Amino acid sequence: MTPRFPDWLRRPWASGDDFGFTKETLEGLKLHTVCQSAQCPNIGECWSKRTATVMVLGNTCTRNCAFCSVPSGRPEAVDPDEPRHVAEAIAKMGLKHAVITTVVRDDLVDGGANHIAETVRQVRAKSPSTTIEVLVSDYQGDESTVKPILDARPEVFGHNIETVRRLYPKVRDRRFTYESALAVLGLARAHSPRTIVKSAMMVGHGEAETEVVETFHDLLDAGCDAVCIGQYLRPSSRQAEVAEFITPAKFAEYEAAAYALGFSFAVAGPFVRSSYRSEEVLKTVFARQRLALAKT
């Protein structure tokens, strides 16, 4: 049985001219967003600031995680014009920092990696001053598949660990493993030492505090610079129930613990998502790197 919905998790309805501008821009270019497909609770805030997380390679995922509302099934053909449309949308919205995510495409030989890399290149060509963050699949830890994305040189490479090791079989599609999530993060760190490596997880699935801290250690060992921790919210009756609503005080403890362990950037809170206020990652990590260099 889902626990009672707490007051701190209520959000205002989305509205306003800027929200409408974002919606019209994305729809006009026939783009998908994780904001809509994953029913993100921050859509009103983000779209009202003329920012959104674009989701490439269609709107149908070949995997089916228990927490996710992105449609699962047989995907449509890849749109070759999508990278150009993403670049146009980002330029039109005037984004200083763009987040590009993707559905999982196990049906493609390269998992769609080259399409994502091309999207990064097109955004870079259209908006040279825009920093770019990619949030991608695990590619089952295959270095040759991940390499094209890293070679496109996004400033931030992200893959979400999502939950603790014990709960992987319950929360994630069976083709995801805790080990492959850590492996792809480690590959990013080894291949691109200057790239910020980032992950995120949701709490409220029934994990213990000790398991969350263990996950922090594993992410650090894999080479992560940044971690985001948010509350799992059930998108619809088709997804897994919430086991627990985590208090803001506990989120503050998780954030403090992550910093104490050595992350360059950590943010935790009920509405935190991997792409939420993501530009802060760059500012914080780069500032810490400059400080470290000054001390040497």
Say which amino acid occupies 155. E
Distance CA(35)–CA(38), nearest Å, equals: 6
212, part of any domain: yes
**Contact between 74 and 60 (Cβ < 8 Å):** yes
* pTM metric for this prediction: 0.90
2, part of any domain: no
- Assess whether pLDDT exceeds 80 at residue 152: yes
- Give the chain's mean pLDDT: 89
Percentage of residues of the chain with pLDDT beyond 70: 88
Q: Where are the alpha helices (DSSP H) in 61-163?
A: 82-93, 113-126, 143-151
pLDDT at position 294 is 59
- What CATH number is given to the structural domain containing 113? 3.20.20.70
**Contact between 235 and 39 (Cβ < 8 Å):** yes
pLDDT in tens, 223-251: 999 999 999 988 888 899 999 999 999 99
Name the residue range of residue 105's domain. 9-295
pLDDT in tens, 159-203: 999 999 999 999 999 999 999 999 999 999 999 999 999 999 999
4, part of any domain: no
- Assess whether pLDDT exceeds 80 at residue 4: no
Residue with tokens 């799992």: 232
Distance CA(149)–CA(153), nearest Å, equals: 7
Distance CA(62)–CA(57), nearest Å, equals: 11
244, part of any domain: yes
249, part of any domain: yes
3, part of any domain: no
Summarize the confidence of residues 33-49 as an average pLDDT: 71
192, part of any domain: yes
pLDDT in tens, 58-88: 999 999 998 888 889 999 999 999 999 999 9
**Contact between 161 and 182 (Cβ < 8 Å):** yes
**Contact between 101 and 139 (Cβ < 8 Å):** no
Among candidate residues 97, 119, 116, 99, the one with its CA nearest the CA of residue 160: 99
134, part of any domain: yes
What is the tally of structural domains in the chain? 1
End-to-end CA distance of the chain: 54
pLDDT in tens, 114-147: 999 999 999 999 999 999 999 999 998 899 999 9
